[in-house]
Amino acid sequence: MTDTARANGVAVVTGAAGGMGQEIARRLHDDGHRVCLADIAQEKAQELADELSPDGSTACAIRLDVSRREDFVKALDTLTDQWATPTILVNNAAVTRAADLMTLSEQDFNQVLTTNVDSIFFGCQVFGAAMAEAGYGRIINMASLAGQNGGTATGGHYAASKGAILTTTKIFARELAGQGVTVNAISPGPHDLPIVHQTVPAEKLDQVIAGIPVRRLGDPAFIAKTVSLLADEDAAFVTGACWDINGGLYVR
């Protein structure tokens, strides 16, 4: 793979129709990558793709159910035929829900845990294999502070799933390191996103913000910048890492 191909690679962002996914997709597109916006809400993802690239030459949207391995396989085949083997994968899609821990139902627990962990595992497995064959790739998994400290405002199922994502990141980082593919995670704390405001009642959110050492919510644009940095060709010596962006809520 040439340096030009790497600098102007093919990036896939799952959950790209939502707030954080949109920020990440915009940033990677601004960096000069062709960007595939993958989401189960394809129509909404297509709106952003049309905005980024009216002629479809540098941005596209595909429907991807991240709980299904076969959807990742289809997405890989489609993108390889349309553009090239993806060089960047951002596993951003997740189900975010608040729930009472002691009354959490089996169905809700399984749905959140399975969807969130399967999405990372299958993404790393399917796209990671293709990247390894090509000899180059950058995978960034979106974890969460909840997976490190047990959660501040989300449910136990969400926190458990994000903890599993951190372990999955290490597994694939070790597996793919010798083939030019890095795998890293980002663990954001509470950020100024629609999903945060939808999940956490306003009065509780004020309490959450008061408990953040820096006394504010995070900026999603900075998460996108961090993704951009980890997706850079020069980030070859960073793998299996977790980058904490949490306003001081979790210090290690």
Enumerate the active-site residues.
Answer: 158
Distance between CA atoms of residues 176 and 12, nearest Å:
18
